[in-house]
Amino acid sequence: MNTSTVTHEKSHVFKRASWFEHIELIMALISGVLIVLAYIAERQVGASWIHVTLYLTAFLIGGYAKAKEGLTDTWETRSLNVELLMIIAAIGAASIGYWMEGAILIFIFALSGALETYTLNKNERALESLMELQPEQATRFNDDGGLDVVHIDELSVGDRIYVRPGERIPVDGRILSGSASIEEAAITGESIPVDRNVGDEVFGSSVNLNGVLTLEVTKLATETLFQKIIQMVQQAQEEKSPSAQFIDRYEGRYVQVVLFSVAAIILLGPIFTPWSLETSIYRGMILLVVASPCALVAAITPAALAAIASSAKHGILFKGGVHIENMGRLKAIAFDKTGTLTIGKPEVQTVLLHPNFSQADVYRIVSLIEEHSMHPLAEALVQFTGKHTGTMEQFKDVTGSGIEAMIDGVTYRVGKQKFADASGDFFPDEVEQLKEAGHTLVFISDETHTLGAFALRDTLRPEAKQAIERLNRLGIETIMITGDNEATGRAIASEAGLTRYIAECLPDEKVEQIKLLKAEYGSIGMIGDGINDAPALATADVGIAMGEGTDAALETADVVLMKNDLVRLSSAIEQSRKLNRIVLQNVVFALGVILVLIVTNIFELLVMPFAVVGHEGSTILVILNGLRLLSSSWD
């Protein structure tokens, strides 16, 4: 199946999924409204067909999706599931006159299912945003030397393709002729373009900024590095968490045990106990009600939703309860550099000037020249040197090197050291120190002298150091994984106070590093903002995206820092740890109540009203305990 077909089919799947998730949620909410109306009717009118009809309608509307899912799954896998148990428990409660009990079971389960569907579909849409960056066509040289526009799936290894300025490179290849600045943000995440010349490798989906290139195809469209990013996101999303695997493993057995126990009480009660058949059915129905997982669902879901709501008020968006639970179990957090720990835009940090030339003159020349450049560093240089007036002539952009221009009759060069400082003797010690500290240097020279050098570097976010300090105090290891070079990585890690750093990582290498860190620490989070971070975000136990990040990062991540405030990470971890304590309390209490109700039912000490009170009472108590998270304080 070719890329365009995949993209086309995916778009229809996403539309259907989006429609279904909204219908499922609407049906659950309608079910809840009907329950309230039925309760009011029962209290106002008493026993009548009105409230029974309302409860029955709530059953049908709220339970349809889960009943269909449970029956379909049972038929396909030949094993019972919790969905089926919940439906049977609800019907069982209604069969002995407890319509409201059954309806509430249906409502809670339907609502949780709708939220789960919504979260899963949000993650699936990450693939769509990634696919939109993959070009579908390429300009290929034919046998006669002409150009043909073809679909990328028609390209073969060894084909020659033509890439114009401003176009995305369609597939991975090697430059045969030409040179250009290539924006590789989709692959490496770095904001500063890299210069590529004849013989260099380039990646599909990166952008040719300013050169005319002839490339030799080195990989098929389905094997490019960018396609691997898409595949890794998809694979990581399909991998189930340990909790999900545990539930899948024991779900069928739990349902079998409960249903077997109910059947045993009903069938064997009259034979081996003094119970009549009517009493046995009564005891069986009580068991079916009290053994239903309603209290256990309430032990986790309301607390998680309360924690999510509280976090959202403070600028942290969790995409589900499981993610906020996992947040509290993190032992380490891996940080992307550009746009996450740093602002993502280079700024001038240091200026070196020749003693015989004034600062005003050098700044004026640099400003006049860089105003006409499209290079990302040009904007930072113009902002630093300010706007100036003057006439410039013979502007020449030397791809991969810099700019040559004439001002006031003098020819100047601005760019790389070999281009604008041919002698290499301009403050050699200072220049070397700046390079080791991770700076990018731009030199300026006239026809005889090097006039100066500007050292630029991406700067730390103002709150980054405080955020790292707070995480370290919580016992969280802080690690930076960056595609940048060793010198820059070392300098930023030292300045931020990180525990360690890993430099020069491509997206697939970031994923491998995350897997290694998971093996080392047991549970790890990853925070980033770029398309290239998406596979690592999906692989980590908790993927965290900056709110100003790319759509791919936002869709793939489990958590989003809406206000880009890294300091909130430590508060979110503390909130998560509190949630996990409350969930443990709730689960122990809910299981204890279920056990007590089952035992008292067996010994005929429990009647249905008390079973309802005990079951619903425990549910209410664990909900109230969970709702304490709504009022929890944040630093």
DSSP string covering 191-240, please? SS-EEE-TT-EE-TT-EE-S--EEEEE-S-GGGSHHHHHHHHHHHHHHSP
Contact 468, 497 (CB under 8 A): yes
pLDDT above 50 (res 4): no
Read off the pLDDT of residues 353-364 as tens digits, 9 standing for 90 and up: 999 899 999 999
Which token pair is 100? 């409201």
pLDDT value of position 99: 84
Distance between CA atoms of 544 and 518, rounded to whole angstroms? 16
pLDDT band at 122 (very low <50, low <70, confident <90, very high): low
**pLDDT in the model for residue 377:** 86
Say how many Å lie between the first and final Cα of the chain, rounded.
Answer: 52
- Specify the higher pLDDT residue, 242 or 118: 118
Is the model's pLDDT at 121 over the cut of 80? no
* pLDDT of residue 1 exceeding 90: no
Average pLDDT over residues 332-340: 92
What is the tens place of the pLDDT at every residue in 540-570? 999 998 877 777 787 788 888 877 889 989 9
Q: What is the DSSP string of 58-87?
A: HHHHHHHHHHHHHHHHHHHHSS--HHHHHH
Model pLDDT, residue 90: 78
Total Cβ atoms within 10 A of residue 585 = 15
User: With bands split at pLDDT 50, 70 and 90, how would you rate the model's confidence at 3?
Assistant: very low
Mean pLDDT of 413-428: 86
Q: Is 35 in contact with 100 (CB distance < 8 Å)?
A: yes
- Does residue 115 register a pLDDT over 70? no
Distances (CA, A) of 22 to 70, 126, 269, 302: 20, 19, 46, 20
pLDDT 10s digits, 518-530: 999 999 999 998 8
- Where along the chain do its domains lie? 137-167+172-218, 343-460
Buried-exposed string 71-99: b where 16+ CB fall within 10 A, e elsewhere: eebbeeeeebbbbbbbbbbbbbbbebebb
Q: Record the tokens describing residue 538, joined without a space.
A: 């999906």
> Which DSSP string do the residues of 493-508 spell out, in sequence order?
HHHHT-SEEE-S--HH
DSSP 305-358: HHHHHHHHHTTEEESSHHHHHHHTT-SEEEE-IIIIIEEEEEEEEEEEE-TTS-
- Predicted confidence (pLDDT) at residue 251 exceeds the cutoff of 50: yes
Q: What's the rounded Cα separation, in Å, for the pair 471 and 483?
A: 23
Write out pLDDT tens, residues 68-86.
877 887 788 777 766 777 7
- Whether 8 shows a pLDDT value over 50: the answer reads no
CA 410 – CA 407 distance, rounded (Å): 5
Between CA 497 and CA 478 the distance in angstroms is 9
> What pLDDT sits at residue 129?
61
Which H helix or E strand runs over 414? Answer: strand 410-415
State the Cα–Cα distance between residues 1 and 447, nearest whole angstrom. 58
Name the band, by pLDDT with cuts 50, 70 and 90, for residue 618. Answer: confident
Q: pLDDT over 90 for what percent of the chain?
A: 30
Radius of gyration in angstroms for the set of CA atoms belonging to the chain, rounded to a whole number: 32
Separation of CA 357 from chain center = 51
DSSP state of 148: E
**Average pLDDT along the chain:** 82
Residue 464, pLDDT above cutoff 90: yes
Stretch 95-109: mean pLDDT: 78
616 pLDDT tier (thresholds 50, 70, 90):
low
Report the CATH architecture of 137-167+172-218: Distorted Sandwich (2.70)
Nearest to 629 by CA among 300, 297, 310, 296: 310
The mean pLDDT value for 365-382 works out to 87
Determine contact, residues 483/506, Cβ cutoff 8 Å: yes
Other residues' Cβ atoms within 10 Å of the Cβ of residue 293: 20
Residue 281 structure tokens: 């059915």
Over residues 193-207, the mean pLDDT reads 88
pLDDT at 430 over 80: yes
Q: List for the chain the helix, strand, coil content (%; round to 5).
A: 55, 20, 25
Q: What residues act catalytically?
A: 336
Select the more confidently predicted residue: 123 or 39: 39
Assess whether pLDDT exceeds 90 at residue 466. yes
* Average pLDDT over every residue of 91-114: 76
CB–CB of 570/474 below 8 Å? yes
User: Counting beta carbons within 10 angstroms of the beta carbon of residue 495, is it exposed (0 to 12), middle (13 to 18) or buried (19 or more)?
Assistant: middle
Question: What is the spatial distance between Cα 228 and Cα 242, in angstroms, rounded to a whole number?
Answer: 25
Closest to 188 in 3D by CA, of 474, 546, 481: 481
pLDDT, residue 611, reads 76
Looking at residue 10, its pLDDT comes to 40
pLDDT of residue 6: 38
Model pLDDT, residue 21: 56
Contacts for 84-90: CB closer than 8 Å, 24+ residues apart: 84/255, 85/254, 85/255, 85/258, 85/259, 85/292, 85/293, 86/292, 86/293, 86/294, 87/63, 88/259, 88/288, 89/288, 89/289, 89/291, 89/292, 89/294, 90/59, 90/63, 90/292
Q: Which one has a higher pLDDT value, 152 or 611?
A: 152
Q: Quick one: tokens of 263?
A: 């059947």
Structure confidence at residue 242 (pLDDT): 46
- CA pair distance 252, 273, nearest whole angstrom: 29
pLDDT at 46 over 80: no
* Predicted local distance difference test score (pLDDT) of residue 234: 59
Task: Give me the pLDDT at residue 304, please.
Answer: 76
Q: Quick one: average pLDDT of 386-404?
A: 83
Note the pLDDT of residue 128.
62
Contact 535, 553 (CB under 8 A): no
- At 216, the pLDDT band (50, 70, 90 cuts) reads very high
190 against 363, higher pLDDT:
363
Q: What mean pLDDT comes out for the span 143-154?
A: 91
Distances (CA, A) of 244 to 5, 106, 248: 32, 21, 6
Mean pLDDT of 247-258: 71
Contact 322, 245 (CB under 8 A): no
Residue 390 pLDDT > 80: no
Residue type, 22: H
Cβ atoms of 545 and 226 within 8 Å: the answer is: no
Give Cβ neighbours of residue 72 (< 8 Å, ≥ 6 apart): none
Question: From its phi and psi, is residue 162 left (phi > 0), alpha (psi between -120 and 50) or beta?
Answer: beta
Among 503, 6, 502, CA closest to 230: 6
The residue with greater pLDDT, 264 or 374, is 264
Among candidate residues 539, 551, 560, 554, the one with its CA nearest the CA of residue 233 = 539
Task: Please provide residue 633's backbone torsions phi and psi, each rounded to the nearest 5 degrees.
Answer: -85, 150
Whether 100 and 38 have beta carbons less than 8 Å apart is answered as yes
The confidence score (pLDDT) of residue 103 equals: 83
Question: What fold is seen in the domain 343-460?
Answer: Calcium-transporting ATPase, cytoplasmic domain N (3.40.1110)
Token code pair at residue 323: 């993610």
pLDDT score of 414 more than 60: yes
